[in-house]
Structure formats: structure tokens, C-alpha cells
Amino acid sequence: MAVLSRLIWRRAASARSFCTKSDRQLLSSPLSSALPANDSTGKGRNVQWVFLGCPGVGKGTYAARLSKLLGVPHIATGDLVRHELSSSGPLSSQLAEIVNQGRLISDEIIIDLLSKRLEEAQAKGQTGFILDGFPRTVRQAEILEDVTDIDLVINLKLREEALIAKCLGRRTCSECGGNYNVACIDIKGEDGNPRMYMPPLPPPPQCESKLITRSDDNEEVVKERLRVYNEQSRPVEDFYRLRGRLLEFDLPGGIPESWTKLLHVLNLDDHEHKRTAAA
Ligand SMILES: Nc1ncnc2c1ncn2[C@@H]1O[C@H](COP(=O)(O)OP(=O)(O)O)[C@@H](O)[C@H]1O
């Protein structure tokens, strides 16, 4: 196991006072001490952001777009877990059982997977990241807090009926890895809530026959994941709210509309214009 993983886990497993100063320096170095490729924070490094939100809300979609825009890696712990599942390594069957029941895998395993991914980023000289799907428990948030200086936490929000439909409509192309959604969500406005319309995101013709559905995207498991989110991950929102770092974002509709609004609240509309003009 990599040094960082060992140290982070030792940190997680022990009391706060356990770590020596040199441990602390080692712990934080992969995330924040290398020279920045692009200092977009004024802190001598690139952005270190987190996406929170229920299953199906679109964390992956918007985190991937922002990471491209800001030139930082998009690190999704769900992808790290699925990669491990597909590797048929020793952990694979243990993880499959947990994921397919809609439960969370242990803090120890997820931190180990994340540490390895962060070390790869460090080796490439990357100083920022957008995390998606981590932290999911208050304990994970505390560990992250000890080793990084998270700038911003974006909490994506959508009505529950839309979340379930979106999870059930998710498809991935088994060849190119592209993500699509076949659900057409149209919830009429009532009780002061506006109408919510999210058109499908259909695959291109060459992917149509190669679409696969995640094994945990069936109704029973999605409902369990939502229950687990409310029980174990909702308190993470309060963790960051209390620290003044939580940005609440209600998705207004489909991707074009939501992306424009998100860039606006993040003060990044200009960034997008410059990038499009330079392309
Ligand atoms: N931070 C984490 N802690 C524990 N388990 C995790 C974490 N991230 C991902 N997982 C596991 O991987 C599964 C898939 O994660 P993800 O793709 O992020 O799903 P979702 O669509 O529910 O947001 C989760 O249901 C959980 O079992």
C-alpha cells in the first residue's frame, strides 16, 4: 500500500493528536504543496472543489465539465470503485456485494483507492482537483479536512422523483465510455415549484447498440442509495455549511440551462467565453 494511503488511514483510524508534524507535511504534500500548473485560487495552486448531491443528481456531468474548463482532474470515487470491480482483484467480489445493495463501502477502502488516485495526480504535477462522490460520511469529510484545504463545496439539488427517473435512465457506452440518459423528465409545477423539464441525452447512433446499465441503477437499489444518502451523507452538507463553504445549487432543468446558471453563480461565465473563443 502506498505511503500516503497508509498515513491517511493511520490518521483516520487514530486520534487527532496521533500524527506528528512530519506526518502532516507528508499527508498534505500530494494535494497542495507541488508547484501549481495553473494558480486559479491565489493560494499557489489550482482549485480544490467537492461536489455533493444525491445519486442521479448530475455530479459526474457537471464535475467533468468544470474539470475540463479549469484544467484539473475530475476524481469520482464511484469510478474508482467501478474500476476496482472490473479488475477482478481480491477486493472485487466484496465490493460488488456492497455496491449492488446500495450501501457505502468502508472508509478504509475508499480512502485507500482515493489516495492512490491522488498520488497519480501528484506524480503528474497536478495541484488541484474536483472530487465527486467523496466525502460521503462525516468521518471522510474530517479526514479530508485534515489533509487538504477545500475551497468550495457545490451541493447539487433536484426533486426526488427526478433523481429516481434519472438514475433509471442512465446508460454508458461499453466501447467509448460515453454517458447518456434515455429518461425524459417532465414534472408539472405545483405547490409553488416550477415545472421541471429535462430532455433525454441520447447516445449517438454508433453507441446505440453498445449501451449498458449500471448494475446498481435499478429501482430497489436506487431507493436504498437515496435512503443511505439521507442517513449518512446529508450530515456532510451540514459539516461544510457550518464552515461557510457550501454553495447550494438547485438544478433548473436540463444540461444547457443548468450549466449556464452554474457558471454564472461560480463567476465563471467569462472563463467559458475566453475558452470558447480560444478553441
Ligand atoms: N465516498 C464513498 N464512500 C463509500 N462508498 C462509496 C464512495 N464513493 C462511491 N462509493 C460506492 O460506490 C457506489 C457508486 O458510487 P457513485 O458512482 O458515486 O454513485 P451515485 O450515482 O450513487 O452518486 C456507491 O453506491 C458506493 O457503494
What residue ranges do the domains of the chain occupy? 43-158+216-268
pLDDT reading at 201 higher than 60: yes
Q: Residue 170 catalytic?
A: yes
Residue 103 CA: which ligand 1 atom is closest? 27
What per-residue confidence (pLDDT) applies to 88? 80
ipTM metric: 0.98
Query: Between these two residues, 88 and 197, which has the higher pLDDT value?
Result: 197
Per-residue confidence band for 274, with pLDDT thresholds at 50, 70 and 90 = low
User: DSSP 3-state assignment of 52?
Assistant: strand
Q: List, for residues 45-67, the tens digit of each pLDDT value.
A: 899 999 999 999 999 999 999 99
Q: Is 58 in the pocket of ligand 1 (CB under 6 A)?
A: no
Residues of the chain with pLDDT > 90: what percent?
Answer: 70
Please give the distance of CA 233 from its chain centroid, rounded to a whole number.
Answer: 13
- State residue 276's pLDDT score: 65
Write out the H or E segment, with its range, that includes residue 35.
none
Catalytic residue among 82, 103, 159, 214: 214
Q: How confident is the model at residue 186 (pLDDT cuts 50, 70, 90)?
A: very high
Q: Is 10 known to be catalytic? A: no
User: CATH number of the domain at 43-158+216-268, out of 3.40.50.300, 3.40.1670.10, 1.10.10.10, 3.40.47.10?
Assistant: 3.40.50.300
Q: To the nearest 10°, the Cα dihedral for 270, 179, 59, 40?
A: -40
- The verdict on the CB of residue 95 being under 6 Å from ligand 1 is no
Query: Is residue 214 among the annotated active site residues?
Result: yes
Distances (CA, A) of 48 to 60, 82, 110, 144, 269: 16, 23, 19, 11, 19
Report how far apart the first and last C-alpha atoms of the chain are (Å, whole number).
41
- Is ligand 1 within 6 A of the CB of residue 81? yes
pTM (2 d.p.):
0.85
Which one of 59, 117, 166, 171 is the catalytic residue? 59
Q: What is the pLDDT of residues 210-258, one digit of tens each?
A: 999 999 999 999 999 999 999 999 999 999 999 999 999 999 999 999 9
Among the listed residues 254, 222, 169, the one whose alpha carbon sits nearest the alpha carbon of residue 55: 222
Assess whether the C-beta atom of 225 lies below 6 angstroms from ligand 1.
Answer: yes
Instruction: Identify which of 54, 107, 110, 214 to mutate to test ligand 1's pocket (most ligand atoms within 8 A of the CB).
Output: 110
DSSP for 169-209? HEEEETTT--EEE---EEE---TTPPPEEE--BPPPGGGGG
